[in-house]
Structure formats: structure tokens, C-alpha cells
Amino acid sequence: MATEILMPALSPTMEEGTLAKWLVKEGDTVQAGDILAEIETDKATMEFEAVDEGVIGKILVPEGTEGVKVNTTIAIIGEAGEDMSATPAAASPAPAAPVAEAAPAAPVAAAPVAPVADQGPDWPEGTPMKTQTVREALRDAMAEEMRVNDNVFLMGEEVGEYQGAYKISQGLLDEFGAKRVIDTPITEHGFAGIAVGAAFGGLNPIVEFMTFNFAMQAIDQIINSAAKTLYMSGGQMGCPIVFRGPNGAAARVGAQHSQDYAAWYAHIPGLKVVQPYTAADAKGLLKQAIRDPNPVIFLENEILYGKTFEVPDLPDFTIPFGKAKIARAGDDVTLVSFGIGMTYAMEAAERLAAEGISAEVIDLRTLRPLDYGTVLASVQKTNRCVTIEEGFPVASIGNHISAYLMQNAFDYLDAPVINCTGKDVPMPYAANLEKLALVTTDEVVAAVKSVTYR
Amino acid sequence: MAAKRPTPASSGKTKAKSNVSPDELKKFYREMLLIRRFEEKAGQLYGMGLIGGFCHLYIGQEAVVVGLEAAASEGDKRITSYRDHGHMLACGMDAKGVMAELTGRIGGYSKGKGGSMHMFSKEKHFYGGHGIVGAQVPLGAGLAFSDKYRGNDRVTFTYFGDGAANQGQVYETYNMAELWSLPVVFVIENNQYAMGTSVQRSTKSPSLWERGAAYGIAGEEVDGMDVLAVKDAGQRAVAYCRAGKGPYILEVKTYRYRGHSMSDPAKYRTREEVQEMREKRDAIEHVRQLLLTGGHASEDDLKAIDKEIKDIVNEAAEFSKESPEPPLDELWTDIYADA
């Protein structure tokens, strides 16, 4: 049976090409793999091979022809002795691959999240509370989840025998043994990849990065392997894993150890991103993260580790993702922050109250999913918004919230949203400069005065 | 500790090995031919514009996966790079589902959302299909970690190329795999060209498997154009891993006949070099001759197999054209698993 040989597409972008040279003539017998012709594409001259054996019946496009469209019939191949003269000589392009149907207008907002504010209590009224540091809360969260699920294990540098570089994993090796509390060599790219593979294999790894600065070495595994595989597999291959560790500036450790990665990770579909402030949130959100079937980035802060908060004295509680907390109610302005940014927001609110300005402070707690509803409802009430974070100003979380409010609350805003962020400089070492590089309470107070026209 | 020296690599001479029955030999012929015909068809569909983007063909390397799959047992895992069609067919994934993924249709293994480089099958323990050179190596060790953690005796085949062998994460993984005695067979498919750069132009190491010695990992070189030699070495590697002795490296010397991807003009090597491999070392022809000269199959028997394979591939191609594109709401699914 005669088959048509079509002008091939030899690159992802090729639409037409030059049939530079025929290496066979009519009547030649060819085998699969024999070079039929040389074709010039937009990038290179390529050899075009036969995919089947047969006899060249007719050559329809002579060599030297330029602008031959992809899928044009350029020759006819058939079996020996076959009459191929009846085959049409006209070389018109065969129907190409189906073009995607016109897509209906895509929703403008990238995140199809219904903004409904859930401000129910995180735990029942009247729950007894105890005092705990963030450090202890994080350890208890891991220990509780490890007790109920044998597939949960902790891996990282110095998490075992050293008891954690920041003592977050204190006591875990003693309780769970070396099989589940695993000291790694200093090899972030490698152990992050091994942990992601273990999650593909059905385990629930917790990877501790000594700091998130070092996770830069592993970022390909976090983004390309952990975050994208569920989608690329059409839903078959989940990656239940938690990457956790201190994030952002500590004190006097210089540019390479002082970066806030909140905006980086929040950018990625497929990741969930958490940045708690209080010990109760740290515990409830980390337990939620360990149970979540998706990759979770859990951003802690070294300066907050030793800070004490009230934590519910319950055998088990979790805090859902995507639920912000109104940390302080107010009417005149909305302050939106998360993680250590909350220290500046809360200090500023206290000072502003003394000056007669009532600030509502929202702790986002999770950055992906983000609780748009709570922010929107608050701004519709206060008509003013200031965001606070330690990260760099360009493409910050505050920028995103500003854009969201401009699209969804434009008519409610009485002033432009101001983003208080870290400065657009690498972190300096000198104490005075470092202080200047971070966001300050004074800046938050000044921003609020600006948006309230005081 | 001294490197564990391997048994000498097989010579690759066309001599029937005792580890293979005539029936298995026919099976090898059939499986390798399926990969080759499938890939030729994929190349054809690419030329017609039905397959887009990158498409890396496995033609020439068929004996590697077919030989190693013959050494695997049910439950063993496999993971590889973006040149992955052969691996999927060899572990029993359906040709229709693979081809339909190449054409970006809903009937594909990833519902058309992964493409040539990103396909998976939990049922067949195939963990992808990874597009970043070398990234599958720690992932493969992690799969092996999960089996060791559970205390079963499964093994993970982790495939990568001579190009990936220069990635740092490979050596980070070697270190931990040996440290933790992970049951992983590292398979270096050395087809001699990392895209357009020959091994000689990318390293002064005389061999790639011997780099494992720096971490205490045993290994050997294998003739990847001889499916019997590959199976033989695979069995050795698997037995070693299953016995709890840790990882094992197989550097399988092979050759890809086609370009790195469909848009590769392949000017970095001579046509004669490719022709010589095709004519003198072809893995399928090798088995074909073993079957004929050994009296295990007649020309007619082989023709019947050829016909059967052609039908499977044509059916896959038809399916891949007829299966619809994914519905538009698939854009928003599978980003997160339900909590």
C-alpha cells in the first residue's frame, strides 16, 4: 500500500522548511532509518529518515524548494512493483494536528478561591491553656504526629545526636530511635531529593533545613520534584512532605544567612506555605502540615523560637490552612502580617492605640492558601491597609495583597495600600545597618499615619 | 576501604547465555522490537505535528531496559530521566496510554498534562519520567529508602545517563545510599553523548561506574548492546541489593541512533559511526540472529512477531489520535491532593 511521506516538523517551533536535497531517487528501495532527504529548518539542517521500508514511488517536491509547509506530501513510498502513478501529484498540506478549541475566557484571578472569612475559634471556648515556647510547641507537634503515624520520620543535619542545631528536635532521637530521627551529611540537595523520593514511596518525611538559606541548594527538588509531580502525573503521584526550619534574619549573621523566603515559595502552585507567629499556631499548623498530603513549606524564625505563648492544653488539636487570625480587633486601619512581622504589627498597634488610632491586626499564618476573605472583610470595614513583612520589597507578599485589594476592594480604599518590608539590600553585618535593613515599628506607625492622613 | 571489585564485564559476544531460555529470548526480541517500532512511530507523529515540545527517542538503547526488567521482580520500582518511553513499555505500561500522553490527550498516563518527559504508573511501580538532568537519582534512592524503612526486600532501578553522571546530586546520593545501605541499582545508561557532548569531552574519568569506589559502592561495566549480558549483570546487582548489601552501579555501554531530541541535527558525530553501530552492534539484530541460528525461531515466526508489534503500535497511534484533548477544566485539577 502506498503511503505519503509528509514534510516533517523537526523542531518544536518549525512551520515550514527548505527541502535542501534528496538522497534517494524514484525507484530506490529504502530501509527504516535510511536518510531520505536533508531538510533545512529554522535552526539547522536535519537529515530526514525513512520510518518504514519500501520503494520510493514518486518525488513530489523537488530539491531546493523553499518554504515547504509542514505536513505537505513530499513523496510517495510503496511496496516493490506497486503502481503509484495514480497518487495525487498535488502536494497540499495534509490536515495538521488539531488546534485547541477556542478556550472560554479564563478567570482573571489566578487563585480560584472563594473569599469567605472564617473567624471561628481555633479551639473550644474554655480550653485550659499552658505556657510554652515556640521551640517546645514545634517539638511536641512532631512527637505527637510521630506517635500516631509510623510513616512520619524526621531527617536533617544535626537533628538526632546533636538534638537539633536550634534544639527543636530535642528528645526525639531518644523516643523514636535512629530509624526515624535521621542525621544526614551536609548535603541539602541530596537529602531533600531522597526525602521527596521517600514521599513518592508513601512515607511522610519531615525535612529540617538548618536554615532555609541552605534550602537554596535543594530548591530544584522542592519546586520541580515535590510541587509539580502531582500535576504532571495527572493526580497519581502525591508528595506528602514537610520542609521546615528557621527562615529570615536572625541576628548579625550576614547576607547569606538572613533571607526571608516567604514570597519565593508562596509563588509556587503545588506548594502550601505556612509561617506561624505564636507557639499555639506553630503547634497546630505543624501537626496539620504533617497530616497534609501535599508538600508544605513551614517557615519558622530563630528569634521566635524562645518566645513564650499560651498554648491549648489538649491531647490533639490542629489549625486549618487558609485561615487567618484577627490578632487584634480595630476599626481605623488593617495591618496584615505573618511570622516575625507580627511583632512589629502588634507593637505598632499598641502605640497607635495610645494615639487614638484603632488598628486591626491580621496574622495570615498561611501564605498559600491565603485567607483573602478575612483580609477583604477587614479592609471593607477599615478602608485602609498596611502590610508588614521582613522580606525584600520587590514581588513581596505585601505587593500581592495590594494587587488583590486593588482588584477586589478598589471602591473601599480611602488610601493606597502601603507595604512595609525589609530594605532592597543584602543584609549587612554591622549592627546599626542590620537594624536599618529590617522593617521597624516606627516605619509601620508612620505608614499607618500616612494612610489615615494623620 | 578498598573498592569492591566487580566480576569482569561480559564480552558481548553473540553466544547464548545459560540464563536465558528460547522462550525468554523470543520475549526479549518482542519487547525490544516493541520499543523500537513505538519510537519510530513517535518520531513519525512528531514529524506530523501531533507530538509537540521535546521528544527523546530510545532507539538503539532497547537492550538496557529489557535486560534489566528481566532481572526485576514484582514490586521492584523504577525511575528514569526524560528519555523514558522505553522504560515504560518494558515495565508493562500500555502503549496506548504512553502514545496518547505524547499527543497530549486525556487517554494519556498523565491525562495529557505531563507529556513525553512526565509519565507515571503506580500500578507498574514506574515513578517517572523526570525532566531535570540528574534529579531522579536522589528520588530513586528515596524510593529505595521507603522500601528499606518498611523492611521489605524490594529494589529500585534508578536510571540516568552519562550526562547526569556529572551532576553533583548524583554523588551526594551515592554517599547517602552507601551510608544507609539503600537497595538501589544505579543504572548509568552511557550512550556516549550528553546531548551533543561526548563523554571524552566532559570528563577525564576513564569509566563512570568506578567513581562509585570513592563512596565504597560496588559496580561493573556492562555491554548494553547485548541483552543477555544486561540481564546477567542485572541479576547480580539485584541479588546484591536484596541481600541488604547496599547500592550497586551498572554502567551500561549503549548507543542512541537518533539525535538527543527530535530537533537535534546530530553534527557532533559522523554518520559512519552511527551506521557502524546499527550494522554491527544492533541489539535487536543480535537476538534475531540468536533465535535463527539457534533454531529457536523461523523467519516466519519472527515475521509473525513483527506483525503483532506493528499492530500494537498502529493501534496505539490510532488511540493517541482519537483520544480527545483534556477537558478545559483539567487546567485546574491535580494541583493539590485533597487533605
Please count the structural domains in chain B.
1
Return all residues near B18 (Cβ < 8 A) that are at least 6 apart: none
User: For the sheet containing A296-300, what is the strand order?
Assistant: A181-183, A152-156, A204-208, A242-246, A296-300, A272-274, A366-368
Asked, for residue B275, whether it belongs to a domain, the answer is yes
Per-residue pLDDT band for A114 (boundaries 50, 70, 90) equals: low
| Cell 524503612, residue located | B149
Nearest to A225 among B77, B119, B139 (CB): B139
- Cα distance between residue B228 and residue B28, in whole Å: 9
Q: Tell me if B247 sits within 8 A of B217, measured CB to CB.
A: yes
pLDDT at A107: 46
User: Do A201 and B142 make contact, defined as CB atoms within 8 angstroms?
Assistant: yes
Asked, for residue B1, whether it belongs to a domain, the answer is no
Q: Provide the residue range defining the domain that includes B103.
A: 30-320
Mean pLDDT in residue range B38-66:
95
Asked, for residue B339, whether it belongs to a domain, the answer is no
- Cα distance between residue A45 and residue B62, in whole Å: 27
| Interface residue B97 vs chain A (CB under 8 A) | no
| Interface residue B142 vs chain A (CB under 8 A) | yes
Asked, for residue B9, whether it belongs to a domain, the answer is no
User: Do B173 and A45 make contact, defined as CB atoms within 8 angstroms?
Assistant: no
Q: Tell me if B161 sits within 8 A of B189, measured CB to CB.
A: yes
Chain B environment of A292 (Cβ under 8 Å) = 339
Asked, for residue B326, whether it belongs to a domain, the answer is no
Q: A384, A382, A386: which is closest to A397 by C-alpha?
A: A386
Q: What digits encode the pLDDT tens for the residues A77-89?
A: 887 666 655 554 4
Q: B43, B51, B56: which is closest to B82 by C-alpha?
A: B56
Is A82 among the catalytic positions? no
Q: Tell me if A70 sits within 8 A of A16, measured CB to CB.
A: yes
Q: Tell me if A427 sits within 8 A of A249, measured CB to CB.
A: yes
| Structure-block grid coordinates of residue B272 | 559512519
Chain A environment of B328 (Cβ under 8 Å) = 103-104
CATH code, B199: 3.40.50.970
* DSSP assignment of A137-188: HHHHHHHHHHHH-TTEEEEETTSSTT--TTSTTTTHHHHH-TTTEEE--S-H
Which strand (E) or helix (H) includes residue B37?
helix B22-47
Cis peptide, bond prior to residue A107, ω within 30 of zero: no
Q: What dihedral angle (degrees, nearest 10) is formed by the CA atoms of B63, B64, B65, B68?
A: 110
Q: Which of A144, A157, A257, A302 is catalytic?
A: A257
Phi, psi of A67 (to 5 degrees): 65, 35
| Interface residue B337 vs chain A (CB under 8 A) | yes
Q: What digits encode the pLDDT tens for the residues B260-278?
A: 888 888 889 998 999 999 9
pLDDT at A84: 59
Chain B environment of A231 (Cβ under 8 Å) = 113, 334-335
Which strand (E) or helix (H) includes residue A41?
none
| Interface residue B73 vs chain A (CB under 8 A) | no
Higher pLDDT, B262 or A203: A203
Q: Tell me if A382 sits within 8 A of A334, measured CB to CB.
A: yes
Chain A environment of B141 (Cβ under 8 Å) = 193-194, 197
Asked, for residue B160, whether it belongs to a domain, the answer is yes
User: Do B169 and A189 make contact, defined as CB atoms within 8 angstroms?
Assistant: yes
Nearest to B135 among A220, A232, A240 (CB): A220
Return all residues near A328 (Cβ < 8 A) that are at least 6 apart: A346, A349, A359, A360, A361
Interface ipTM: 0.94
Interface of B with A in 216-255 (CB under 8 A): none
Mean pLDDT in residue range A352-357:
97
Q: Which domains does chain A have, with CATH numbers?
A: 3-78 (2.40.50.100), 129-312 (3.40.50.970), 325-451 (3.40.50.920)
Q: Tell me if A333 sits within 8 A of A381, measured CB to CB.
A: no
Per-residue pLDDT band for A101 (boundaries 50, 70, 90) equals: very low
Q: How distant is the Cα of B184 from the closest Cα of chain A, in angstroms?
A: 12
Asked, for residue B56, whether it belongs to a domain, the answer is yes
Is A125 among the catalytic positions? no
Phi, psi of A32 (to 5 degrees): -55, 130
B250: which strand partners?
Answer: B187, B220
pLDDT at A284: 98
- Written as one letter, the residue type at A295 is P
Chain B environment of A35 (Cβ under 8 Å) = 271
Asked, for residue B20, whether it belongs to a domain, the answer is no
Per-residue pLDDT band for A35 (boundaries 50, 70, 90) equals: confident
